[in-house]
């Protein structure tokens, strides 16, 4: 997984739970000396998952609670600083989410070792979208947390519901 994800996780944990919580989470994951990480570094998926589990143990949060916090932090804070350009062309959550498949492909194209998550879209009605998450990483909670974060950023009350092991139904507010 790209280093940028871990950098955002670290920032969120240090800001919301304190620096000690981050150090403790790393220790829980068996890491006693934190390596230097750049946004483009590639970090073993297993290590990333271990660190996330360490964070959950250290902070007493469930995976779902962590994923919701991270999704909100990534979209409303970190990406606003790091990836602002992706938001400029999208005026609502619907436009932004529909771009996510191509954004992930283009963001990782320059890195042949990267395997971005892919998304498929199917409209059930005018305001109900089925979004399918395709990734061997199976980070469904994080996928859902990020969608909720997009709703928060655009100030839209999205209804997000898991309907199968890799599909989510998103109900957008009706256009006024």
Unique residue bearing structure tokens 């739970």:
17
Tell me if 68 sits within 8 A of 148, measured CB to CB: yes
For residues 79 and 129, which CB has a smaller minimum distance to ligand HEM in the complex?
Answer: 79
Query: DSSP string spanning 39-55?
Result: TT-B--HHHHHHHHHHH
The answer to whether residue 142 forms part of the interface with ligand HEM (CB under 6 A) is yes
CB 40 to ligand HEM: min, Å: 9
The helix/strand/coil state of 2 is strand
The smaller minimum CB distance to ligand HEM, of residues 23 and 107, is found at 107
How many CB atoms neighbour CB 82 within 10 A? 14
List 31, 61, 86, 162, residue binding ligand HEM (CB under 6 A): 86
d(CA 89, CA 92): 9
8 versus 13: smaller Cβ distance to ligand HEM: 8
Is residue 41 at the binding interface for ligand HEM, with CB under 6 A as the rule? no
User: What residues does 159 pair with on adjacent strands?
Assistant: 171
Report helix, strand or coil for 156: coil
Residue 160, helix vs strand vs coil:
strand
Among 7, 83, 105, 167, binds ligand HEM (CB under 6 A): 83
Spatial contact of 62 and 141, defined as CB atoms under 8 Å apart: no
Task: State yes or no: residue 2 binds ligand HEM (CB under 6 A).
Answer: yes
Between residues 24 and 48, which has the closer beta carbon with respect to ligand HEM?
Answer: 48
Compare residues 79 and 158 and give the one whose CB is closer to ligand HEM. 79
Q: Which residues contact ligand HEM by CB under 6 A?
A: 1-2, 4-5, 79, 83, 86, 97, 100, 103-104, 107-108, 114-117, 135, 137, 139, 142-143, 146-147, 150
């Amino acid at each position: 997984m790209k280093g940028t994800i871990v950098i955002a996780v670290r920032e969120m944990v240090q800001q919301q739970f304190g620096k000690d919580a981050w150090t403790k989470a790393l220790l829980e994951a068996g890491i006693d000396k934190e390596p230097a990480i750049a946004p483009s570094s590639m970090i073993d998926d297993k290590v990333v998952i271990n660190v996330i589990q360490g964070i959950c143990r250290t902070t007493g949060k469930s995976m779902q609670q962590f994923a919701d916090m991270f999704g909100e932090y990534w979209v409303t804070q970190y990406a606003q600083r790091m990836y602002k350009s992706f938001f400029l062309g999208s005026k609502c959550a619907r436009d932004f989410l529909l771009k996510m498949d191509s954004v992930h492909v283009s963001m990782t194209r320059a890195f042949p070792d990267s395997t971005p998550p892919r998304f498929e879209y199917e409209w059930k009605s005018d305001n109900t979208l089925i979004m399918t998450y395709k990734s061997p990483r199976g980070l469904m909670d994080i996928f859902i947390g990020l969608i909720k974060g997009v709703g928060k950023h655009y100030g839209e009350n999205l209804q997000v519901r898991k309907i199968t092991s890799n599909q989510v139904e998103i109900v957008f507010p009706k256009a006024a």
